[in-house]
Amino acid sequence: MIKPIAIFWIVIIFSCANGNGQPELKKNSRETTEILEFLADDKLMGRRTGESGNNEAAQYIADKLKSYGVSYPPGMNTYFQKIPFVLEKPVGKYSLEINNIPFNPLTDCIITKGKAEFKNIPVVFAKYGLEDELTGKSDYDGLDVEGKIVVVLPGEPENSQQSAVMRASKKKRALAVKYKAAALLELYQLNTPWTFFTNYYGRESLQLEDTAAGSKDQIIYGWVKDKGDLLKKELIAGKKEMLGSVSAYGSSYVPKYSQNVVGVIEGSHPMLKKEYVLLSAHYDHVGTGKNGGAFTPEDSIFNGARDNAMGVTAILHAAAALAKKKPKRSVLFLAVTGEEVGLLGSKFYAENPIIPLNDIIFNLNTDGAGYNSVNHVSVIGWGRTGIDSLISTAAKLAGLDIFKNPAAEQNLFDRSDNVSFAAKGIPALTFSPGFDAFDDEISKYYHRVDDESETVDKVYLLKFSQSLAHLARLIADNPVLPKWKAGDKYEDAGIKLYQK
């Protein structure tokens, strides 16, 4: 647990925190280039979570940590935090009928989960199918949905953006299971193209084993388009009782395993070494072919040089520098898997921490879609944690300027692994390669097969890695603890975490 630092130690630490940090300012970029080239090599086949290339990347990262003198986490004899995943294969055949009106597969509906058949059972409407965790109010209040088909609105109240839809769907399935529904159908009435749902939900997906599909085969789940306003004007309006028949066959669940890679550098200060700076980056990417997106007959490997081999390169650069000259606080290195399939690796660590979360003073995460300026770094979370001056110092030392909270409309803070720790209360941000907007230069490489190591500016890669390494040192040596800005959405979680 983080405890207040005595005034005596604050004076001593402050006098030593002069920001020299020279070990991370290597002039030679060979090491960073070699790391990037290995992680983005074709032989790793896009580092998809649960696949052999992902595991090979994990072993490489662990070997690098060992070579730098980074220790295993306390109580462990390995760098690997094993994570049980489930590969869910979608429904192969399904049918839906409501009030004797058939809904055609792919055209009118898509059912992606479940293995069951129900005929002529009641259909009920349950608003958004959610519960308010604070008030306890539930959309299921007053409803008996056991053994029935439940239809719900998409997304969250007053938020039907794509991210909200994805975020809410698992909660809705879990609640439908809780109330013993036979099936859960989300009503499509969004601006997102229908083809997105058929493509996204109709493919294989990875999930953490203990949260997979709410209760695996016990509930049918899918999306339905209204047909002649049948659902909107009759069911939702409460004008007519309805019966429906639904079936789903062919889904399956296959165990898959991956791992977070975790290492520790113990701090040099006798008191402060009990506190940790968490340095994180995801090492997985999207894989090959249809798992990744658009590809060509000539190239179907999504190498992920920018996303996120650059980030892993940067934290390994920091590991080498900080192990050579230890900072005052300890540093926890976390290369996470499963980011591309829903931040699952960082979520798993946040729920199963090796180092107690209230011993971690900050999460410095690095991730990015790419860069459109080799003269900048981008800080997603600028102004929120009280370390802006340290960021400026670190960037300046590497000869870089700062883009502050770029592409704000994308809500990027809540879309990378930093949010798994921020939600627990740990002050956090994401330190990204320099971009100010999702322009053509970013789109040229983001989740595309062209994101190869040879297209990355190696001089910039070194500068970026240097700036991140120095920032990690400044945070670890700083006498003032980071904290959430007053009124930040994660401030209350932080107060709760560090009061324990």
Q: What is the per-residue DSSP string for 253-271?
A: EEEEEEEEEEEEE--SSTT
Domain extents in the chain:
7-83+258-498, 91-250
Question: pLDDT value at position 161?
Answer: 72
* Residue 307 DSSP one-character state: I
Q: How far apart are CA 82 and CA 262, in angstroms?
A: 10
| SS3 category, 460 | helix
Q: Is the pLDDT of residue 487 over 60?
A: yes
What residues contact 491, with CB distance under 8 A and at least 6 apart? 484, 485
Task: For residue range 279-312, list pLDDT tens digits in order.
Answer: 999 999 999 987 777 787 788 999 999 999 999 9
Residue 289 amino acid letter? G
Q: Which residue has the higher pLDDT, 478 or 216?
A: 478
Q: What are 91-136's pLDDT values in tens digits? A: 989 999 999 999 999 999 999 888 899 999 999 999 999 998 778 8
Question: Residue 461 above 90 pLDDT?
Answer: yes
Class of domain 91-250: alpha beta
CA 120 to CA 243: how far, in whole Å? 5
pLDDT at position 455 is 97
Per DSSP, helices labelled H in 236-343 are: 310-324
Element (H, E) at 110: strand 109-113
Tokens of 114: 């479940």
- Which H or E run contains 12? helix 7-16
Backbone angles phi, psi at 261, to 5 degrees: -110, 125
Question: What tens digit of pLDDT does each residue of 366-388 get?
Answer: 999 999 999 999 999 999 999 99
pLDDT attached to residue 24: 46
Pair 243, 121: CB distance under 8 Å? yes
- What are the tens digits of pLDDT across the range 168-219? 888 899 899 999 999 999 999 888 889 887 887 777 888 888 654 444 546 8
Q: So what's the pLDDT on residue 167?
A: 77
pLDDT at 332 over 90: yes
DSSP-derived 3-state class of residue 59: helix
pLDDT of residue 480: 96
Residue 456 in this model has a pLDDT that exceeds 50? yes
Q: What is the DSSP string of 167-222?
A: HHHHHHHHHHHHTT-SEEEEEE-SSS-HHHHHHHTTS-EEEEGGGTTTTGGGSEEE
Task: Return the structure tokens found at 486.
Answer: 């007053």
pLDDT classification of 20: cutoffs 50, 70, 90: very low
Residue of 345, 336, 389 whose CA lies nearest to 366: 336
Q: What is the pLDDT of residues 59-102, one digit of tens each?
A: 999 999 999 999 999 999 999 999 999 888 889 899 999 999 99
Bridging pattern class, strands 252-265 and 80-89:
antiparallel
The highest-level CATH class for domain 7-83+258-498 is alpha beta
Interstrand relation of 205-208 and 183-188 (parallel, antiparallel or unpaired): unpaired
For residues 407-432, average pLDDT: 95
Cα 430 to chain center, whole Å?
12
What DSSP assignment string belongs to 378-397? EEETTTSSS-HHHHHHHHHH
Sign of CA dihedral 420, 426, 431, 435: positive
Segment 400-421 mean pLDDT: 95
pLDDT above 60 (res 251): yes
Mean pLDDT along residues 225-240? 88
Virtual torsion, Cα 30, 31, 37, 43, nearest 10 deg: 130
Q: Region 357-373: what's the mean pLDDT?
A: 97
Q: How many helices (H) and strands (E) does the chain have?
A: 13, 17
Mean pLDDT of the residues in the chain: 90
User: 6 or 302: which carries more pLDDT confidence?
Assistant: 302
Instruction: Enter the pTM of the model.
Output: 0.82
Q: What are the structure tokens assigned to 45, written together?
A: 């086949």
Query: Tokens at residue 435, please?
Result: 């971009």
